[in-house]
């Protein structure tokens, strides 16, 4: 028995696709090759069906012997408009096989190619049936609407090829190789040379494997569409993130004027009552002119006034002793009790008097 080769299946199908829409016929051929690569032999058994042929088929199982195979009369089937085809599965000896799970497997392959499969219908499952209506309904076809592609396959007209495979060459292959290489798939040492060789086939298989397609090394409709999608996405520029706006300078909250403590300028105030007598005496003795008695004094000012005072009298020592007792707790003296005893006994030298006066003056005028 002769073997069931791919050439046999294609040649057998070509005769059945005469009159079928060119796009639908191309999808049928692609399905035959895809199924063959998956270990299933299929061929087209029915393509365009005339209204008369449709009516005759409708009578089967009704007025004529046989099993009912359709519920459609003439004009009620997509076959009547060249947009459908039926297939059969063949064994390795070219015998048709009408049962088995392989029809379900082929149905899923057809759906991958965008075909509508009769096995997915709910009311009347037709496992060998496939169709592609370009979105047109049966009512629109009956009203005269036709797909935009229009043309049908004529007798002896070569079927259109919408895939690329090993052995092909030319501009389309160069475009395929360029996109693969741009996406990081090596097409071999020859680079983009327009020849679909082993390197390009391996690159196509790697691409198909990465994106969950059948890894057969043939660039069919699904592979080419996915390749084009990924290539376009890779060419889009990566958006540059917008710079973050600079933080707005924060202005410290204005302080409530009511909470600010008023600053008093004591430099212009008169002498305090407790020191008024001493200030007047200092004025009389020419030690100071009495101006700005509460102004801050430097140490050198105190030393100058002490020198002007000359020798100290007993009453002056006594007054210094009295003042010392009042402020001794605030004086930076290591042994204030020793100083207090010296003043009480009048046992202080002029240098010690000057030192004490300087300390007292800084506390009195500051």
Rounded Cα–Cα distance for residues 169 and 32 (Å) = 22
pTM of the model: 0.46
**Tokens 């060789």 found at:** 197
Q: Is 75's pLDDT higher than 80? A: yes
pLDDT (mean) for 96-120: 95
Q: DSSP 3-state assignment of 234?
A: helix
Beta bridge partners of 117: 130
Domain ranges of the chain: 6-142, 171-235, 266-365
> 171-235 domain in CATH 1.10.101.10?
yes
CATH of 6-142, one of 3.30.1380.10, 1.10.287.130, 1.10.3720.10, 3.40.50.720: 3.30.1380.10
pLDDT (mean) for 158-173: 77
| DSSP structure class, residue 287 | S
Q: DSSP 3-state assignment of 131?
A: strand
Q: Residue 335: which of 306, 356, 318, 361 has the closest Cα?
A: 356
- CA dihedral sign, ordered 149, 152, 153, 157: negative
| pLDDT, tens digit (0-9, with 9 covering 90-100), for 55-64 | 998 999 999 9
Rounded Cα–Cα distance for residues 263 and 286 (Å) = 32
pLDDT at 362: 64
Sequence-ordered list of residues with C-beta below 8 angstroms from that of 324, at least 6 positions apart, any chain: 331, 339, 340, 343, 356, 360
């Amino acid at each position: 028995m002769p073997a069931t080769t791919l050439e046999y299946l294609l040649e057998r199908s070509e005769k059945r696709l005469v009159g079928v829409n060119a796009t639908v016929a191309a999808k049928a051929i692609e399905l035959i090759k895809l199924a063959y690569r998956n270990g299933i032999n299929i061929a087209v058994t029915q393509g365009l069906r005339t209204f008369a042929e449709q009516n005759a088929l409708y009578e089967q199982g009704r007025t004529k012997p046989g099993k009912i195979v359709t519920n459609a009369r003439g004009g009620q089937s997509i076959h009547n408009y060249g947009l459908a085809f039926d297939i059969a599965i063949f064994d390795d000896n070219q015998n048709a096989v009408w049962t088995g799970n392989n029809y379900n497997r082929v149905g899923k392959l057809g759906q991958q190619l965008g075909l509508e499969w009769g096995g997915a219908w709910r009311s009347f499952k037709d496992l060998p049936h496939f169709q592609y209506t370009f979105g047109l309904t049966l009512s629109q076809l009956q009203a005269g609407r036709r797909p935009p592609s229009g043309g049908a396959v004529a007798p002896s007209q070569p079927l259109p090829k919408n895939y690329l495979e090993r052995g092909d060459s030319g501009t389309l292959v160069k475009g395929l190789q360029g996109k693969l290489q741009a996406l990081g798939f090596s097409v071999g040492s020859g680079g983009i040379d327009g020849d679909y060789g082993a390197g390009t086939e391996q690159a196509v298989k790697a691409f198909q494997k990465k994106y969950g397609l059948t890894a057969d090394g043939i660039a069919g409709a699904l592979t080419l569409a996915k390749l084009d999608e990924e290539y376009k996405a890779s060419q889009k520029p990566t958006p540059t993130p917008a710079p973050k706006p600079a933080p707005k300078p924060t202005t410290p909250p204005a302080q409530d004027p009511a909470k600010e403590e008023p600053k008093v300028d004591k430099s212009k105030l008169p002498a305090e009552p407790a020191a008024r007598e001493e200030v007047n005496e200092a004025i009389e003795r020419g030690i100071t002119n009495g101006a700005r008695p509460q102004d801050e004094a430097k140490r050198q000012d105190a030393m100058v006034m002490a020198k002007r005072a000359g020798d100290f009298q007993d009453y002056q020592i006594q007054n210094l002793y009295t003042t010392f007792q009042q402020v001794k707790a605030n004086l930076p003296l290591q042994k204030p009790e020793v100083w207090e005893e010296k003043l009480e006994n009048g046992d202080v030298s002029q240098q010690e008097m000057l030192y004490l006066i300087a300390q007292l003056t800084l506390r009195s005028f500051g």
